[in-house]
């Protein structure tokens, strides 16, 4: 598919849905749960625990909030610039998920306590005792999976495939299909030519004596 507005619109729509769902669920979590208390959903495997995360996605690298604020801004800029070359619906969805997730957590870092660019991200989905995340994190992980899959399959952002074979044909410099072998163009071998000269002189193959 050629790059165009429909794919850019798809990317934007996916990003907007992720952003809205992420922010609404965070508002709900803050209003519903008490920080640190766990509400089981699927036993010990999945639960709901309100946590204010000063680090990266999935509660990693706490204490480096401003670095991830800059990283989220950089990712958003890169995605917007790549959008002009989109030629694949799957890439549009993947980049929309990435953009929506990045902006979702970026909003928290910009507007939440303790201050601009160092705000703590609201996490509330607890995966066992491993980490606590949010909807934006889910979108980022899904985007990463799609991007890896597309890269493995050789699908570029513009929709082309790497290593696509060109149209086949005879090798350059080789004999053309249907061309006669050497000597056949002259009607046969050299010996055949001599036989014909004898035959032309005497159909019976005998020479006349003077």
In the set 44, 108, 129, 137, the catalytic residue is 137
Given a contact cutoff of 8 angstroms between Cβ atoms, the answer to whether 120 and 113 are in contact is yes
The answer to whether the Cα torsion of 111, 115, 116, 120 is positive or negative is: negative
- Which strands make up the sheet holding 131-133, listed edge to edge? 38-42, 46-53, 121-127, 131-133
Q: Quote the DSSP letter at residue 175.
A: P
Given a contact cutoff of 8 angstroms between Cβ atoms, the answer to whether 117 and 109 are in contact is yes
What average pLDDT does range 173-191 have in this prediction? Answer: 44
Question: What phi and psi values does residue 109 have, to the nearest 5 degrees?
Answer: -70, -25
Claim: this prediction has a pTM higher than 0.85: no
Known active-site residue 158: no
Given a contact cutoff of 8 angstroms between Cβ atoms, the answer to whether 131 and 55 are in contact is no
Pairing outcome for strands 121-127 and 46-53 = antiparallel
Greatest mean pLDDT among 12-26, 50-64, 117-131, 192-206? 12-26
Q: Is 82 exposed, middle or buried (0-12, 13-18, 19+ CB in 10 A)?
A: middle
Q: How confident is the model at residue 62 (pLDDT cuts 50, 70, 90)?
A: low
Angle between helix axes 5-32 and 89-111 (nearest 10 degrees) is: 40
For position 59, what pLDDT does the model report?
A: 53
In the set 22, 44, 108, 123, the catalytic residue is 123
Task: Supply the mean pLDDT for the chain.
Answer: 80
Known active-site residue 137: yes
For position 176, what pLDDT does the model report?
A: 43
């Amino acid at each position: 598919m050629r790059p165009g507005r429909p794919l850019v619109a798809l990317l934007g729509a996916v990003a907007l849905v992720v952003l809205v769902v992420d922010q609404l669920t965070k508002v709900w979590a803050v209003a519903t749960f008490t920080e640190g208390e766990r509400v089981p959903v699927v036993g010990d495997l999945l639960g709901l625990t309100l946590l204010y995360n000063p680090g990266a996605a999935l509660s990693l690298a706490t204490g480096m909030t401003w670095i991830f604020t800059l990283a989220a801004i950089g990712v958003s800029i890169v995605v917007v610039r790549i959008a002009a070359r989109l030629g694949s619906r799957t890439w549009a969805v993947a980049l929309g998920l990435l953009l929506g997730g990045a902006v979702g957590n970026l909003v928290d870092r910009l507007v939440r306590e303790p201050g601009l660019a160092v705000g703590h991200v609201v996490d509330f989905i607890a995966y066992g005792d491993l980490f606590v995340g949010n909807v934006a994190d889910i979108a980022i992980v899904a985007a990463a999976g799609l991007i890896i899959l597309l890269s493995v399959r050789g699908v570029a952002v513009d929709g082309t495939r790497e290593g696509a074979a060109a149209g086949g044909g005879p090798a350059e410099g080789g004999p053309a299909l249907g061309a006669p072998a050497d000597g056949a163009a002259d009607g046969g071998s050299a010996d055949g030519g001599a036989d014909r000269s004898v035959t032309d002189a005497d159909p019976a193959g005998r020479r006349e004596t003077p």
